[in-house]
Every structure is written in C-alpha cells, then in structure tokens.
Chains A and B, each alone.
Chain A
Amino acid sequence: MENLIALLIAAPLLGAAVLLVGGRRLDAVGHWLGTLLAAVSFVIGLVLFAGLLGRGADDRTVTQHLFSWIPVAGFQADVTFRLDQLSMTFVLLITGVGSLIHLYSVGYMEHDERRRRFFGYLNLFLAAMLLLVLADNYLLLYVGWEGVGLASYLLIGFWQHKPSAATAAKKAFLVNRVGDVGLSIAIMLMFTTFGTFAFGPVLDQVGDTSEGRLTAIGLMLLLAACGKSAQVPLQSWLGDAMEGPTPVSALIHAATMVTAGVYLIVRSGALFDAAPDAQLAVTVVGAVTLLFGAIVGCAKDDIKKALAGSTMSQIGYMVLAAGLGPIGYAFAIMHLVTHGFFKAGLFLGAGSVMHGMNDEVDMRAYGGLRKYMPVTFVTFGLGYLAIIGFPGLSGFFSKDKIIEAAFAKGGTEGWILGGAALLGAAITAFYMTRVMLMTFFGEERWRHRTTPEGTPHPHESPKVMTIPMIVLAVGSVFGGAFFSVGDRFLHWLEPVTGHSEGHPPVGAATVTAATLVCLVIGVAVAWAQYGRKPVPAVAPRGSLLTRAARRDLLQDDFNHVVLVRGGEHLTRSLVYVDHHLVDGAVGGTAAAMGGLSARLRRVQNGFARSYAVSMFGGAALLIAATLLMRAV
C-alpha cells in the first residue's frame, strides 16, 4: 500500500502539468479533468485510510522511499513520504474538501475564460499541500511549503487584471517569504544541531539537545507557521487574499495553506515539548491572533473579509491548542478538521451569495436573502451554527475541548489563555451572528443598490455549486460528534501526537457552561444591534476600536510605518553609501589607474632613443647588481 502514497501527489501534479501545458485544446474539458484528478487523489486517500485502519494502532506509520534526492557525504536528503495518522487526516481533509471545492469551482468559474488555468493552479495547490503533509523530512516539507506559497500567489492574483488582486498576491507572497525565512533558518539549525532533518531522527534526538538550541529552532518554526497560517504578526496578507476567487479563499482557509502552520507545529510537537519558552510563545501568538482576528471580523462589512477574520481567529485557536502541548495537539487537529468543513461551507456559501448578487461583497447591500437562496441559507446557517459552537454541532466539540485544554494549562497562564479563548468564543458568536443577520435576514437592502450590472436578482446557485455546500454542511453538523464519540479522533491521533489528560482547575462541565453563556451573550448582542434595528446602508463612523478594526487593527499602517518606511530609509542610506563610498572607491581606483596609465603612457613615446635609454639604464643597474652581489 505504501506504493500508493506517491500517487496521492502525482494525480493532482499530473493534472496541473497537463492543464497548464496542454493549452487551449483542453479548455472544454480542463475543469472536469482537474476535478477528476482531485477526486482520484481523494479515492486513493480513502484506500490508504482503509489500509491504515486495517493495521494496529501502533503500526500505522507507512513510509515510501521514492529516490535519494541530495546524496552528499554528510548531507542526505531523500524524497521519502511518510503516511501516519496525522498525515492521513490532512490528506483526507485536503483531498476531500479540495475535491468539493473543485466541483464547486466548475460552476463558480463557469464564465471565466481562463478556467482551465484556474483548475491547473488548484491542482498544483493540492499537490503542493499534499507534498507538505506527506514529506518525511523538513527539507521536502519545505519544497511543499514553497509550492503552497507559489500556488497561493498564482490563485490570489488569478484576476491579475485587477490591480488590487495583483497587489494582494504580491503581499501574500512577500509576507509568506518572511515566514519562509524562519523555516529555512530552522532547517539549517536542525542540520547543524542534529546532522539530519528527517522527522524521525530529529524528534528522537530532542532529548539530547540543549534547550537554547531547541528554543531557537522552535521560535523559527513558529515564525514559519505565523507566515503560512496568518498569525500575528504576519497575518496581514490573509484579508487581502480575499481578492482571489471565492473557491480559492475556501481552499486556502479550509483545506490548505493556513493549516500548514498548525501541521508544522503539531508535527514538531516533540521539539516544542522540550522547549517550553517556544511553546509559550506559540500559545501567546495563538491567543493574540484569536482575539485579533475576531475583533477584525466584527468590523468588516465585506462578507469575505469578515470570514477571513474568522479564519484568523479559528486558526488562532488551533495554534493556541498546539502550543499547549500533548494536552492540545489532538484537539488542534480536530478543530482544524471541523473548521475545514464549516469554513469551506461558509466560504462556498458566501461565494454562492455573491454569485447571485452580481459579485457584490458588501453585506450592507444584502439582507433578507433567505427567501431567494434557500439552499445557501440552510448550508450557510449550519456552518454558522457549527462555527459559533452550537451544542451538538462540530464546532462545539472541538472548540470546547480547546478552551478546556487552555484552562488545563494551569496557573495564571491557564486562566489568561482560557479567558482569551472564552472571550474569543463570545466575539465569534457576535460577528458570525452579525454576518448571518446582515446577509439573510432583515430588510432587502439590495433593492436600493445598483451595481454596474443593474439591480441584482438574487437566485439560487446551480446544483454543481450547491451539492458541495450540502456535503460540507453535513460534515459541519456531524463531524464533531462523530470524532468525539468515544474520543475516536483522540485515539486515532494518539500514537503520533501523544496525549495527556489536562486537569482544568474547574470542571469540564463548568467550562462548557461558561462557553455556552459566552455564546448566548455574543448572539444576543448581535441580535440587539443587527436583528432588531435595521442595518444602515452606509457604515456608521463607529467607535475608535471599530474604525481601527476596519483597518485590520492598523496592521498595515504599522507595517508601513515601521517596516516600509524603515526599509525605505535603510535603502536610501544604502544607496547613498553605494553611490558615494562603494562607487567612490571603485571609481577612484579606476581614475587612479587611468591617471597612472596616462602618465606611464608617456614613457612609450615611440622614439627608439628613449627606449635605448631604458635599456642602457637597465644594463647599468645589472652591473650595479653584479657588483653588489660580489661585494656581499
């Protein structure tokens, strides 16, 4: 069965190659080909999953050595794939949700003349992400990591004719580069520390390594995770990435890209466990991001950007959980999977709404859409309930576990982290209810809006789009319960991530109750503000916090002032140094040589007698030398 692992990646990679190289001949069938190959990958994933289930719990790590990649003395890098429970979970999520998004895109991108290319990029995205999660060493993981960055760049900037999309793609790429530097430094550190970067040997040797080294590696890995998973302080690209087509957003937020950071941290769990400082940094980043994203999500009127804030916040939960150590790894992954379902559903729903509203994204121009697009309303509503953690739906189980684990961290940290997670839950309930109310309930504000294509005529999307939404909604509803019954998911992952029961200072029931109270408060406040009162068509000025949140809590301004401005000054001074010092030295040397040559040239005056003087003088010197040698 291990021979199948490479096929997982090969299928979408083949699709990308064929679609991108094939040219216009494939325009008619390209989208179906892409979808088919994604589905093939999913089917292979299922076969492998069945194969893994057939083995014992401790025998579920399968490796496939494909070829030796860089065989240099003292430096061995292989293309080896490692399929274990963690990778398997990701593979199923990526290929499953990815296939659904492919299917959805067939409808969504129907009128785009570059659809074939779009599917090529989607396949490339899947292949890169699969390579990332299946790699057996950090170097190969890095290849996938960069591949994901490339694919996201291509997809975010897919509508490159829009300057905003091109800029957003560039921004995503650049911010990701910062994180990538972290990963490459981490890999270098690993190589100097352990002499290898295969997962197994690295994580086995953690115990014999100084904590300082491990902390450095851990912090670098965290930086990498921040870049890919849009965690503070590298989160600024995520909001702008909404410039891409909606399926891309769904893919980035649910199945690929942002989950890579969480995967990296969980995969390196043993390393983080041995470096408590790095682990603490992870939890802090997670906690800050979950509040940051939630606050940003509250203020956005753009439905996709509100959802982007929500993603940031949910990934914050996962990173927080991953930072908690063995008590949180499994829950981080579980939340990742459930989030994959409902966030993909929410994005596809949002895409469906936009599809029916002439690509309008401003929620203040929506309202009362539930009558016009019932399927979208129901699936989006189920996703909504799942994300706010409505009891019994998938978000409830996974998020509740994370909050419990945060409290179980113990001490002041536990209270702070738990409190933040609880507060985040309340805010999540608020902004998601706001999105729900503004979109599907209330006055039909779109009747007063005219888009360039006239007043929109809201309508339900075609089946090819609604079917994936329905499937995802089912996952959103039952996923959490399915995973949690008898701690199935926990036992499944335990051989890889390990697990230790936390001992929260308060009982699990209390935490659940507090979460529910927060949920109710959030929903109630949102209802009071957006359900009872009509939503103003133009956004009110709002409080200072609202205004700041609308501008992504001044993240871009901060970046501009600190990084861009500083960079400009640095560049200018470097240019000055280059012009005056470096060029001066080079130019001065050249001028000195030129002047010297011009003077020396006069010696070559073409007069034979002048040359004869030199010869004669030379002969005199020879005699002098001879005499001197004799004298000595």
Chain B
Amino acid sequence: MNPVNYLYLAAVLFTIGATGVLIRRNAIVLFMCIELMLNACNLAFVAFSRMHGNLDGQIIAFFTMVVAAAEVVVGLAIIVSLFRTRHSASVDDASLMKL
C-alpha cells in the first residue's frame, strides 16, 4: 500500500466535515464537524511528516490540537451562552435578517 492513501483518507474526511458544516444547524454538531476537519488536517500533517522523514509535520499537528482545544473551549462557551439567551442551539436562529 502506498502511504499516499492516508492523504486520500484525510481529503475524504475533510470534505465530509466541510459538507457537515454546511448542512447541519445544531451549533454543537457543527462544531464537531469542524473538529473532524481539523483532525483530517492533522492526519495529513502526520502523513507528510512520514513522507519527509522529519518531525515538523507532527509539531504542526500538535499545535493544531492545542489551537483546537482553545477553540473548542471558547466555542462551547459561546454556544452555552447563546443557548441561555435563545433557548436554542440552532445557528439559523441567530439570523435576524429580513429575507
């Protein structure tokens, strides 16, 4: 097997995550889809790390994880306060525009 397959898998996961962001309305699920995309990227980085024979890719994946953790903390805090005021976790409800 060619290790490039990891990249294909990462691409597929990334696309699935992105599509999920587009079609789900629940902010929590939406967040999960974003996490999925980040993980797909991490997989790609790890595969690149193997490809180039150095650890830089793994470092980047590590940083991504840290940033994702920070992002999740803030994002979930936002969702909770949004839920408190609106009693809904739907991202569509945040739209107050007339159509």
A–B proximity contact (CB within 8 A): yes
- With an 8 A cutoff between CB atoms, is A596 at the interface? no
In the complex the two chains form, is B22's CB within 8 Å of A609's CB?
yes
**Is the CB–CB distance between B91 and A604 below 8 Å?**
no
CB of B99 within 8 Å of the partner chain:
yes
**Which residues of chain A are within 8 angstroms of B96 by Cβ–Cβ distance?**
606
Q: Which of A605, A608, A616 contacts B94 (CB 8 A)?
A: A608
Collect the chain A residues with CB atoms within 8 Å of residue B99's CB.
Answer: 602, 605-606
Give residues 38-85 of B contacting A (CB, 8 Å): none
Closest to B18 in A: A616
A613 to B20, CA, bound (A): 11
> Is A607 in contact with B95, judged by CB distance below 8 angstroms?
yes
9 tightest A-B CB contacts, nearest first? A606-B97, A606-B95, A607-B95, A605-B99, A608-B91, A613-B22, A607-B92, A612-B22, A616-B18
| Interchain nearest-CB distance for A490 vs B (Å) | 92
* Of A605, A612, A613, A616, the contact of B97 (CB 8 Å cutoff): A605
Q: Are B95 and A616 neighbours in the complex by a CB distance under 8 Å?
A: no
Per the 8 Å Cβ criterion, residues 29-45 of A in contact with B are: none
Q: Is B25 part of the contact surface with A, judged by Cβ < 8 Å?
A: yes
Asked if A604 and B94 sit within 8 Å, CB to CB, the answer is no
Q: With A609-B91, A609-B92, A616-B18 in contact, do A604 and B97 touch (Cβ < 8 Å)?
A: yes
Kindly state whether residue B21 has any CB partner on chain A within 8 Å: yes
How many positions in chain A have a CB within 8 Å of any CB in the partner chain?
A: 10
A-B contacts, 16 of them at CB < 8 A, read A602-B99, A605-B95, A605-B97, A606-B96, A606-B97, A607-B91, A607-B92, A608-B94, A608-B95, A609-B23, A609-B92, A612-B21, A612-B22, A613-B22, A616-B18, A616-B22
**A607 vs B99: C-alpha distance in the bound complex, in angstroms?**
10
7 further interface pairs, Cβ-Cβ under 8 Å (given A608-B95, A609-B91, A616-B18): A606-B96, A607-B92, A607-B95, A609-B21, A609-B25, A612-B22, A613-B22
Task: A613 to B18: give the CA distance in the assembly, Å.
Answer: 9
Complex interface: chain B residues within 8 A of A605 (CB):
95, 97, 99
Which of A602, A604, A608 counts the most chain B CB atoms within 10 A? A608
Which residues of chain B from 1 to 37 have a CB within 8 Å of any chain A CB?
18, 21-23, 25
How long is the Cα–Cα vector from A577 to B25 in the complex, in angstroms? 56
Q: Which B-chain residue is minimally distant from A609 (CB atoms)?
A: B22
Tell me the complex Cα distance, A616–B97, Å: 22
Q: Measured between C-beta atoms, what is the minimum distance from A558 to chain B in Å?
A: 66
B18 CB contacts on chain A under 8 angstroms = 616
Chain B hits for A609, CB < 8 A: 21-23, 25, 91-92
The interface centre, meaning the residue of A602, A605, A609 with most chain B CB atoms within 10 A of its CB, is: A609
Residues of A within 8 A of B94 (CB): 608
In the docked arrangement, what's the CA distance between A602 and B96, Å? 14
Instruction: Please name the residue on chain A nearest to B24 by beta carbon.
Output: A609
Could you tell me the distance between the alpha carbons of A560 and B23 in the complex, rounded to whole angstroms?
77
What are the residues of chain A within 8 A of B21 when measuring CB–CB?
Answer: 609, 612, 616
Q: Would you give the 0/1 interface string for A597-625, flagging 1 where the beta carbon is closer than 8 Å to chain B?
A: 00000101111110011001000000000
- How many angstroms from the CA of A616 to the CA of B25 in the assembled complex? 17
Contact with B along A562-605 (1 / 0, CB 8 A): 00000000000000000000000000000000000000001011
**Given the complex, which residues of B lie within 8 Å of A607, measured CB to CB?**
91-92, 95
Q: Which residues of B contact A616 (CB under 8 A)?
A: 18, 21-22
Separation of A613 and B22 alpha carbons in the complex (Å): 6
Q: For residue B49, give the distance in angstroms from its CB to the closest CB of chain A.
A: 23
State A604–B95 Cα separation when bound (angstroms): 11
- Nearest B residue to A604 via CB reads B97
Considering the chains assembled together, what is the distance between the CA atoms of A612 and B30 in angstroms?
12
Interchain CA distance A296-B59 in the complex, whole Å: 110
A602 to nearest B CB, angstroms? 7
CB contacts (< 8 Å) of A602 on chain B: these are 99
Rounded to whole angstroms, the CA-CA distance of A608 and B24 in the bound complex is: 11
Contacts of A608 in B (CB 8 A): 91, 94-95
B94 nearest CB neighbor, chain A only: A608
The residue on A at minimum CB distance from B95 is A606
Taking the closest CB of chain A, its distance from the CB of B40, in whole angstroms, is: 14
The docked-state distance in angstroms from the alpha carbon of A122 to that of B18 is 90
**Measured CA separation A606–B93 after assembly (Å):** 10
CB A617 to nearest CB in B, in angstroms, measures: 10
Could you tell me the distance between the alpha carbons of A609 and B21 in the complex, rounded to whole angstroms? 7
User: Could you tell me the distance between the alpha carbons of A602 and B23 in the complex, rounded to whole angstroms?
Assistant: 19
Residues in A whose Cβ lies below 8 Å from that of B97: 604-606
CB-CB nearest in chain A for B99: A605
CB distance from A443 to the nearest CB of B (A): 93
> Which of B94, B95, B96 has most A Cβ within 10 Å?
B95
Rounded to whole angstroms, the CA-CA distance of A605 and B92 in the bound complex is 10
CB contacts (< 8 Å) of A604 on chain B: these are 97
When chains A and B are docked, how far (Å) is the Cα of A605 from the Cα of B99?
A: 6
User: CA separation between A612 and B23, bound complex, in Å?
Assistant: 10
A619's closest neighbor in chain B, by CB? B18
Q: Give B23's nearest chain A residue, CB to CB.
A: A609
Task: Say how far A72's CB is from chain B's closest CB, in angstroms.
Answer: 58
Give min CB distance, A600 to chain B, whole Å. Answer: 13
Cα distance A608–B97 in the bound complex, in angstroms: 11
Question: In the complex, which residue of chain A has the Cβ closest to the Cβ of B21?
Answer: A612
Residues of A within 8 A of B92 (CB): 607, 609
Instruction: Name A521-536 residues within 8 Å CB distance of B.
Output: none
CA–CA, A218 and B18, complex, Å: 83
* B23 proximity list for chain A (CB < 8 A): 609
* A632 CA / B23 CA spacing, docked (Å): 35
Given the complex of chains A and B, what is the CA–CA distance between A609 and B34 in angstroms?
Answer: 13
Give A612 to B21 CA distance when docked, in angstroms.
8
